[in-house]
Structure 1
Amino acid sequence: MRSATVEVRGSWLHYVEVGAGDPVLFLHGNPTSSYLWRNVIDEVARAGWRCIALDLIGMGGSGKPILDYRLVDHLGYVEAFIDALGLSDLTVVGHDWGAVIALDHARRFRSRVRRVAFMEGHLHAIDRWSDLDEGSRELFQRLRTPGVGEQLIIQENFFVEEVLPAGILRTLSQEELDAYRAPYRDPAARLPVWRWPQEIPIEGVPADVAAIVTANQAVLADPELPKLLLHATPGAVIGPAEVAWCREHGRALTIVDIGPGTHFLPEDRPAEIAAALSEWLGLPLL
């Protein structure tokens, strides 16, 4: 596995790469990094693909420029990264916010995206706070309360220390947890982690994120773009209701249940994800 950086937009993005063949770009969410995919990409590479796992700007080993770290910032940096590497005939695989980015890129750059796979990402804006279960509603209202969210995430590193382990069925080893802590030892480096909960589109706020998530539904309905939804039981962001919606409204969509899991599925089900991806990637294009 090769580790490298590429200069984009006055900063740099770090990525790891393994294998040869048509490119498969893996995108993570909050508060993870390319490390999330470590137990997935080797297996997919062995099936004959060039696997590239990116650290989003401000996260993992990528640069930390002065930004707001909003979704639109990440979209621009991922676009610049793909341009810098000259990637085409591309498959994009996304988890969490990486899934939103993957679907957005497929929608805006259809000519260079051949397939999209996604898991545990926002497929719909949330109409009302009351649509969230009580625990999630209380948590995200706290995280979006000025002063409270900053204390929890920036000062106490709440997402790495609490949210990440709680979203994994197994127990992370000390080495694994330290790898996730490494980019955020300095509280000042935790701004991107704090920003992501503010970006969840709830009751139309933020409006631009709600619009992007809603527009991405056109990708799910595209009958000519192969897509793969990987979901677990019980899931978290994508639970039974979202899976049912995808079965009804998705086109050219393969849906695979990978077994028990909540949110950070590549930590609990890496072998199942790699197997499902390898099989799906080997299918003929539409």
Structure 2
Amino acid sequence: MTLREQEPPDATSVLLPGPWTHRDLSANGVRLHVAEAGEGPLVLLLHGFPQFWWTWRAQLPALAAAGFHAVAPDLRGYGGSDKPPRGYDLATAAADVAALVRALGERDAVVVGHDWGGLVAWTMAALHPRSVRRLVVLSMAHPRQLRGAMTDARQRHAFRHLLGFQLPRLPERRLTRADDDPVADLVRRWAGPRWTGTADFAEAVGHYRSAARIPQAAYGAMEYFRWAARSQLRPDGLRYARRMATPVTAPTLQLHGALDPCVLPSSARGSGRYVAGAYEWRELPEVGHFPQEETPGEVSRAVIEWAAG
């Protein structure tokens, strides 16, 4: 391996070309990088771990073609966005995205979130309801539903990676090693079998591995997990849990892979109890934790249909 291959990429490495444009916007005191396409009503696409905006590469042009302004930001700590030392709690992340709606010149948006982006989306809908017109959540339970699901030994086992992520510095070192591929291993373990053997999978995990090696990106990703675990008995975490009892009024669609080994379908099913508005649960057969990449056409159609109301 050459010295050049060992050098970490910089944040510009996520400015991948395609039928979209890139720009930076200031929101809630941080600079957020976005990829965007199309004109029309705003649809925000929020990625999860260990990804960045690229996970929505199929949905950006599909939504644009359907008459929407599709915007996929890198959350704080990820990709081309700022990576400050603090602010990796869900209330702050939701405030970032609510401010991004305003920075884009809109009052509200259809908010679509996957994995950690799903937690941000749920939080935004509860704490910033005027900013969320409609909601789509992929592969993630409502935060209070997920908290309750941790009494299930199967879900605790599925989240065993959380324990390793609590260690200081070691998880970041592993994620950024040039001679290992933990990102690909994680995505392969959580994905459904239809995607893992494809060229698209290989390309995607290559981009995710590269983005994880951007300086401070691994730290930001781990800090979300550390907050999630350590806040459970801290005043800020208990306050967040109480605030999340606020019913979601936005019409909400949940899409969940039937084979998801990370957030089990049984853990996410039942999140509708926290939704006061219209609610629909759809389980996707033969799909794992990454529906937007494993079955992109099906997810794009579902999001377009839900966004159109």
What range is the shorter-chain TM-score in? 0.7 to 0.9
Question: Which residue matches 1:77?
Answer: 96
Q: Aligned to 2:137, which of 107, 118, 128?
A: 118
- 8 Å CA contact 2:46–2:121 kept in 1: the answer is yes
CA contact (8 A) 1:126 1:202 kept: no
Partner deviation per Cα, 1:235-256 (whole Å, 9 max, x = no partner): 2454332454235664410222
**Is 1:144 aligned with 2:169?**
no
> Hey, what's the Cα distance between the residues in 1 that align with 2:235 and 2:147?
12
State the 1:90 CA deviation.
Answer: 1.4
For residues 157 and 267 of structure 2, the distance between their equivalents in structure 1, rounded to whole angstroms, comes to: 19
- 2:254 corresponds to which residue? 229
Asked if 1 retains the 8 angstrom alpha-carbon contact of 2:146 and 2:268, the reply is: no
Secondary structure at the residue paired with 2:147? Answer: coil
Cα distance in structure 2, aligned partners of 1:207 and 1:141: 21
The one-letter code sitting in structure 2 at the alignment partner of 1:234 is L
State the SS of the aligned residue for 2:303. helix
Report what 2:48 is aligned to: 29
Moved more, 194-203 or 54-63: 194-203
Secondary structure of the residue aligned to 1:192 is helix
Aligned length: 280
1:48: Cα distance to partner?
A: 1.8
Question: In structure 2, do the counterparts of structure 1 residues 57 and 116 end up closer, same or farther at CA, with 3 Å as the change threshold?
Answer: same
Check 1:210–1:278 CA distance in 2 against 1; reply closer, same or farther (3 A cut): farther
* Distance of aligned partners of 1:205 and 1:120 in 2 relative to their CA distance in 1, 3 Å threshold: farther
> Which letter does structure 2 place at the counterpart of 1:230?
L
The AA in structure 1 aligned to 2:166 is: R
**TM-fit CA distance, 1:40:** 1.6
Give SS of 1:92's match: strand
Amino acid at match of 1:266: Q
Q: Which residue of 1 aligns with 2:291?
A: 265
Q: What is the Cα deviation at residue 275 of structure 1?
A: 1.0
Describe the SS at the equivalent of 1:219.
coil
Name the TM-score, length of structure 2 as normaliser. 0.77
Q: Which residue number in structure 2 is paired with residue 94 of structure 1?
A: 113
Q: CA, structure 1 residues 31+215, in 2 after alignment: closer, same or farther (shift >3 Å)? A: same
Q: Could you tell me how far apart the structure 2 residues matched to 1:35 and 1:190 are? A: 17
Q: Which residue of 2 aligns with 1:194?
A: 222
Tell me the amino acid that sits aligned with residue 179 of structure 1. H
Corresponding residue number in structure 1 for 2:209 = 181
Q: How far is the alpha carbon of 1:278 from its aligned partner?
A: 1.5
RMSD: 3.0
> Relative to structure 2, which stretch is displaced further, 34-43 or 71-80?
71-80
Task: Please identify, of 205-214 and 52-61, the stretch whose mean Cα deviation from structure 2 is larger.
Answer: 205-214
The answer to whether structure 1 residue 255 and structure 2 residue 281 are counterparts is: yes
Q: Secondary structure at the match of 1:6?
A: strand
Report how far residue 128 of structure 1 moved: 8.4
The answer to whether the Cα contact below 8 Å between 1:233 and 1:262 also exists between their aligned partners in 2 is: yes
Structure 2 unpaired stretches of 5+: 1-19
Instruction: Tell me, in whole angstroms, the C-alpha distance in 2 between the residues paired with 1:187 and 1:161.
Output: 19
Q: Is the 8 A contact 1:201 1:210 kept in 2?
A: no
**Structure 1 residues 61 and 145: alpha-carbon distance in aligned structure 2, compared to 1, 3 A threshold:** closer
